[in-house]
Every structure is written in structure tokens, then in C-alpha cells.
Chains A and B, each alone.
Chain A
Amino acid sequence: MSDKKKLDGNTPENENYRDEMDELVRIFKEELSKAQEEAEESDDFDVDNIEVEGYDPKTVSLDEKRRAIVDFDNNCECCGERPRGTKKNPDSIFCEECEAILEKYPYDWKGLVSVVVILAVLIFGVIKFAIDTPVFSYMKSGDKNLKENKLYSAVSNYDMAEDCIEEELRENYKKLYAKQIVAGYKANNMDMVTNAFSYFGNSDFLLFMLKDVSEIDEEMSLMQATTTMIQQHLEEYDVTEYDKIIAELDSLSGKRIYESNGYYLDETNVEFTPSGAEKGYIYDESWLNIYKYAAAQSNGKDESVTIEYLEKALGYTEYVDRVWTTVLASAYIGTEQYDKAEALLKNIKNSNDEGIDDNLILSMIYRYRDKNYQRAVDICVNGLNGLSRLEDGYDLVAQIGYTLSMQKTLNLIMLGKYTDAYESAEECCTYQMDSLETVNSQSRDMLAILALATKNTEAYDELKKEIEDSGEYGIPFSQDVTDYKAGKITLEEIVMSGRYDLL
């Protein structure tokens, strides 16, 4: 707009513009006429001389020729001159020549090299993943179990994942061992936890992805420091010195412990001055209370006292809560506080969906409170069946089933089914042998009592002979066995005494 205005005037500047435009018009006209002359001289431009492929030169009209030349819809999409179609593909949008050229359009060498290199890496990678597939599958199954709180299955799957790895390569699978620690710790499988920890160095715990493991390590270190120091402090006391033990344990509450080169010292060691390089802990209240509970138990203190210590022990450490809640529930049953025991059932169940401690406590409640022995037997059988249905890898019935077997035995006695009870007691001893590599005296005594109840003198004599053969190491039959043999005590009294409730 402004340019037009400028040109309208007769200023010297506009004169220059006009001259330039006139010059351009002149050049354009010259070039155009030159091009037209050249084209007219050329044979190609002579429409009459043009031969168009696909058209009969004798009959084709000038219009048809012109249409053929400019008909891009039917001509080769590449050159636009020759008609489309090839011998191989008559419907091709290209002519024969163009298609041949296009098909050979070279690739950039960098692309080809990249493809070769990436494919080589890919092949190695896929082979490696295929080798690790069993490990991956078991670990994923373990993760799923852990999410569903099925801790025994999780432990079993992680264990099988480890079995799929060659021994010398195992230390590389840090995350597998991290998962083993988490699952093993929750399932109280301390063998697995200890083994898994051996694959970690202290610096590994700085990795944020191993935060869970680091927390467990902290908790275990605290427990180890506390229990080691408590044992050091209690060494000088006899187990019967109840008041002194309690006073000593009370004095440790809130004190600091220091770890230096694997040794522990606490604030009570006057010669030790912490430099700051030592790792510090504060005495774990839960273990202080568990030692008080143990001292009270050993000294035959009232159950209300032992229960109080147990109640105080809970709520500090996850591990202690998991393990000792069942003991507390059992103590409540012993003092006929069934409602409190029932209230703990949910916590017990929540700690492991596949655990049997809830079956154990429930069967005890049915026996002691409801006298519903058949229901109690059913609960024990369900618990044992549940264990045997777990994913393969661990024979959990043998590992932890003896507690439920004993409960089943006790309830069968109450139902008067002594032969079944004897078989169940035998099963209990077998499980215990598999699990602990020994049979504890309670299980052996119960077997002896049931041998007497079923008049199986041969079995009783055999058990007695085993004790005699063991010499000074043999633990004699308990008072219950001798009293029952002498007819001083009934089976019902033995069962309801609570002395045979294995935990």
C-alpha cells in the first residue's frame, strides 16, 4: 500500500523504481521469446512427432496426445512422462524405469550398521532373559504372594528363584536377596534372612532401592545389640534372683548402646567414652520386657505379672509384635481372658495370611471356653490342610505343623478317640523330628500317656527304653506320665492343664 503511494508520485526515487520494473519486464519478455523459439526448434515439442506409449500413433488425435502428456493420473507418479504399470505389477503407479530406480534407492550406511549392532545386542539380551526366565517367574510369584500376605509361599518362591541361579552368580541378584530378607523377616524365617544378608555389604544399604532391607537391618541390629548387652548384664545373676534381675533391666531402660568393631558397650561402662564414630542404639524396650517376662516365668510369678510384661513388650518392634502376640494370646487363654485373646486373633492373622497361629489360638479357645472339641479338631485339620496345599518348595506341615498336631491330639483325647489321638501324637513327634531334629519332652510324654491310654505297653516300654539308653542325657518322664500310670490323674486333667499346648 505504501509502495503504491510512493510510485504514484513523480519523485526521483519513484522514477528509479519504474525504470527497474521496466527493465525486469523487458528481460522477462526476452527470455520468454527465446525459450519459445528454442522449443519450436526442438523436435520434442512437435506434438505430431511425439510417440506416446500405450496409444496408436496412426489413430491418436492431437487432443489425446496432449492429454496423455499431461495426464498425471495415469502417468508414472515419479517421472510423470511414461504411463504407469510394470510387467511385474500392471497396477503399479510407477513406470518400469522409475520403479527399478526407486527399488534400489540406497539406505544410509549408518542405518544399516545400527540395525546390525542393535539386532546383535537384542539377540544376546533375549537369550540372557530366557536364561533368567525361571528366576523372574519365581520372583514375580513371590511378589504376588507377598502382596497377598501369603508369606510362606513368598518365602518358598524366593527360595526356588535362588535355586535357579548358578552359585557363583548369586551375589549379583541384589534385589532377589532384598526380597528374601523382607519375606523371610515377616515370615520369621531367620535362616533365609541371615543367608540373604551375607550377600550385602554395608555400602549397599545406602542405595535408596534397598530402603526396606536397610530398615530391617536397623531393627535386627537394634535387637542384637539389646539382647547381647542384656545377656552381658544378667550374666552375674542367678536365675532365681528375680528382684535383682528386674532392677537391673529397669536400670537399662533408655540407656544408649554403642557398637564398635562388632563389640557392644553401653553408658554403664564408665571407661568407655564414645568418639562419635561408633554406631549408637537405645535399649529396645520390647526385649527388656521379654527378659522380664522370662524371669517372671522362670520364678513362677503370677500370670498377671507375666501378662503385664508381655503387654509392655508389644508395640516397639515389628518382629517382637509378630512373634509374641501369639504367646500373649495364649497367656490370656490361660487366665480365661478369652475376649482379649479373640481380639488379638485379627493381628495374628494379619501378620501372615498363611500362618497357623490363629488356628492354634482359635482351637484353644474352642477347647477351653466352649468345650467344643470337634470344632477345635476341625480347625486344626483345616490349618494342617492349608499348610499342605501351599506351593511346593517347603514341607511346611513338617516345619511348623507340630503345634497344630498337638492341639488336634489334645482335642481328640477330649472326644475320647484315644487311638486317633495316639496316631496324631505320633505324627506330632515325626513333624518335630523333621523340623527340630529332636522330639521335645512334652510331645514324648504325651505319646507315652496315650500309649498307656490305648494299652499299647510295647510302645510305652520302647519310649522308656530310649530314656534309659540315653543315660545321663535322657530326660525322664514327667510327673504327669507317672501319675497317670499310677491312676492319680485323669487324661482330661492333663489336657486341660495347658502344659501340652505347644507354641
Chain B
Amino acid sequence: MMRTVYIIVKFLTLPGAILHAFFEHMSCRWTKVIVDDARVVQANEMLSHVDHELIKRKSASFDVCFIPFFFNLALGFLLLMNGATTVYYFGKYNDGLAWICLYLGISLCTNLFPQIEDVMMLKENFFANNDKKISKILVAPFYAIFFVGAKIESLGITLLTSIIFSFAVPTILGLFIPTLYNLMK
């Protein structure tokens, strides 16, 4: 049941899923992780992910989780900047570009998190040894975010959270845009 919901959500937010897979592939190439299957559209759990080898290096396992997360979040936020403010805040309901931006923004923000296997690999690489504590401390918050995110993404709940996030975008922008604008005036 949850697998079906997950796949439906992924197809509903296909642009974001494709982009997440693309950035995951990009990060694999960047960190020289061997990719076994780079097809981005598949009707299974691998939709929005690429199939890659096990990662033994710390930096690579972090990058493969973080880079797609960061890019999808950044691009999603930038898209929502126009989409959410125009539709929700200005009330311009007849603006086509704004609706496209809103959909793409929500779709990107729905597909932020890595696969749970990748998160487990990150945990294995960073926390299963007696290495220096500093890297553990730095990575711990990311691990927590990725772990929770991957879990809720596997249930398809990220669609709801990204819609809620889109409503919050005008408020978030309101915290600094007026100040910046007044400084630039």
C-alpha cells in the first residue's frame, strides 16, 4: 500500500523526482561512485534515485546524500519564491508562470531526501568506527534530517510537507526581503 502511495507521489512530482535522480547521478560522478543503473524514470522505489555501488568513503557517502538534497531544496525554494508569493500572497490567480513555478517548486521539495539505504551507509561510514568526534558532530544533524526525511518520503508524506512549506515561503521571504530592499533603496 505505502509503496503504491510512494510511487503515485513520485509520479505526481515527476520533475522533482527526475531532477533528484539527476543530481544523485551527478554527485556519484563527482565522488566517483560507480553507477549501475542511471535510468531516472522507473515505476519502482528507484524512481528519483540512481542505482549505485556501496560507498565506503565518508565524503562520498555524505555528498551522495547531501548534493541532491541541497540542489533540490535551493532550486525548489527559488521556484516557490515566485510561485508561492504570486499565487498565495499577491493573489494573482491567473498567472500561468506562477502556477508552473509553484508546481515545480512543490515537486522539487517533495523529492529532497536520499534513499534509506544511502542514509544507512552514511551512518555506517561515520558512526560505526572510533574516528575523530568532530566529523560525527558535524554530520549528526544531517544524518538526523536525512533519516527522518527518507522515512517520511518513503511514506509519500513529503508531498504534504512541501505544500505546507510552500505556504510558509512568503513568510520566510518576509523576514529578510523588506529589510534588504530598504537597504538597497
Interface residues of A (CB under 8 A from B): 77-78, 92-94, 99, 102-103, 105-108, 110-112, 114-115, 117-118, 121-122, 124-126, 128-129, 132-141, 143-144, 172-176, 178, 209
Contact = CB atoms under 8 A, between A and B. Distances in A.
Contacts of B32: 92-94, 99, 102
Interface of B: 15, 18-19, 21-22, 25-26, 29, 32, 34-35, 38-41, 57, 75, 78-79, 81-83, 85-86, 89-95, 97-98, 100-101, 104, 108, 170, 173-174, 177-178, 181-182
Nearest to B28: A105
In the A-B complex, list the 5 residue pairs whose CB atoms are closest, starting with the nearest: A111-B22, A175-B91, A174-B91, A125-B82, A137-B181
Given A121-B97, A125-B97, A111 B19 contact: yes
A464 B34 CA distance: 98
Nearest to A106: B38
A224 to B, nearest CB: 25
Main secondary structure of the interface of A (DSSP, over half): helix
Contacts of A133: 177, 181
A111 B40 CA distance: 7
Contact of B82 (A77, A129, A134): A129
Contacts of B41: 108, 110
A176 B88 CA distance: 11
Contacts of B182: 137
A144 B170 CA distance: 13
16 contacts: A102-B32, A121-B79, A122-B101, A125-B83, A125-B97, A126-B82, A129-B82, A132-B85, A132-B90, A133-B177, A134-B181, A136-B174, A137-B178, A139-B89, A140-B178, A172-B91
B75 A105 contact: no
A16 B85 CA distance: 76
Contacts of A118: 15, 19, 75, 79, 104, 108
A175 B18 CA distance: 34
A107 to B, nearest CB: 6
Contacts of A99: 32
A141 B174 CA distance: 8
Nearest to A131: B82
B91 A128 contact: no
B78 A121 contact: no
B22 A176 contact: no
Nearest to A126: B78
Contacts of A78: 34
Given A129-B81, A176-B90, A141 B178 contact: yes
